[in-house]
Amino acid sequence: MIKVGLVGYGFMGHMHSQCHAAAGESKIVAVADVDPAKRDEAKEKYNCEVYASVEEMLKSADIDMVDICTPTYLHAEHVVAAANAGKHILCEKPMAMSVEECDKMIDAVNKNGVTMMVAQVIRFWPEYQVVKELIDSGKLGKVQWLSARRLSPPANWAWEKWLWDPKRSGGGVMDLHVHDQDYIAYLLGAPKKVQAQGTKGPGGGLDAVQALGWGHSSGANSYAEGSLIMSETYPFNMSMVIACEKASIKLDSGADPSLMVYPNEGEPYAPELPSPEIGESTETSGNLSSLGGYYNEIKYFVGCLKEGKKPTVVTPEDGREAVKICLAITKSAETGQTVEL
Ligand SMILES: NC(=O)c1ccc[n+]([C@@H]2O[C@H](COP(=O)([O-])OP(=O)(O)OC[C@H]3O[C@@H](n4cnc5c(N)ncnc54)[C@H](O)[C@@H]3O)[C@@H](O)[C@H]2O)c1
Contacts of 146 (CB under 8 A, 6+ apart): 184, 187, 188, 220, 221, 222, 223, 240, 241, 242, 243
Cβ of 8 below 6 Å from ligand 1: yes
Domain with CATH 3.30.360.10 in the chain: 122-277+313-340
Q: How far is the CA of 37 from the centre of ligand 1 (A)?
A: 15
Mean pLDDT on 138-157: 94
Q: For the whole model, what pTM was predicted?
A: 0.96
Q: How many CB atoms lie under 10 A from the CB of residue 170?
A: 25
Question: What order of strands is seen across the sheet that includes strand 193-200?
Answer: 259-263, 247-252, 237-244, 143-151, 222-227, 206-214, 193-200, 339-340
Is residue 109 pLDDT above 60, yes or no? yes
Decide if pLDDT at 277 tops 80. Answer: no
Cβ(127)–Cβ(183) below 8 Å: no
DSSP state of 232: T
What does the pLDDT read at residue 290?
Answer: 62
Total length of the chain: 341
Atom 15 of ligand 1, nearest CA residue: 11
Q: Is the CB of residue 164 below 6 angstroms from any atom belonging to ligand 1?
A: no
What pLDDT sits at residue 275? Answer: 65
Asked if the model's pLDDT at residue 222 lies above 80, the reply is yes
Q: Which ligand 1 atom is nearest residue 8's CA?
A: 24
Mean pLDDT of the chain: 94
Ligand 1, atom nearest to 53 Cα: 32
Binning pLDDT at 50, 70 and 90, where does residue 288 land? very low
Q: What's the average model confidence in pLDDT over 114-121?
A: 98
Say if residue 286's pLDDT is above 70.
no
Taking a C-beta distance cutoff of 8 angstroms, is the pair 268, 262 a contact? yes
Whether pLDDT at 285 is above 50:
no
Residues of the chain within CATH 3.40.50.720 domain(s) are 2-121
121 CB under 6 A from ligand 1? Answer: yes
- Quote the pLDDT of residue 230: 96
Q: Is the CB of 32 under 6 A from ligand 1?
A: yes
Ligand 1 binding pocket mutation candidate from 34, 177, 182, 298 (most atoms within 8 A of CB): 34
* For residue 201, pLDDT beyond 80: yes
Q: Which of 29, 82, 261, 71 is nearest to 162 (CA)?
A: 71
Q: Is the pLDDT of residue 312 over 60?
A: yes
Q: Which of 66, 70, 72, 80 has most ligand 1 atoms within 8 Å of its beta carbon, as the pocket-test mutant?
A: 70
What confidence tier does 281 reach under pLDDT thresholds 50, 70, 90? low
Q: CB 134: neighbour CB atoms within 10 A?
A: 18
Per-residue pLDDT tens over the stretch 11-43: 999 999 999 998 889 999 999 999 999 999 999
Tell me the percentage of the chain whose pLDDT exceeds 90. 92
Q: What is the pLDDT of residues 64-88, one digit of tens each?
A: 999 999 999 999 999 999 999 999 9
CATH of 2-121, one of 3.30.365.10, 3.20.20.70, 3.40.50.720, 1.10.287.70: 3.40.50.720
Residue 193 pLDDT greater than 90, yes or no: yes
Does residue 279 surpass a pLDDT of 60?
no
- Domain 122-277+313-340 class, CATH top level: alpha beta
289-304 tens-digit pLDDT = 467 899 999 999 999 9
pLDDT at site 280: 54
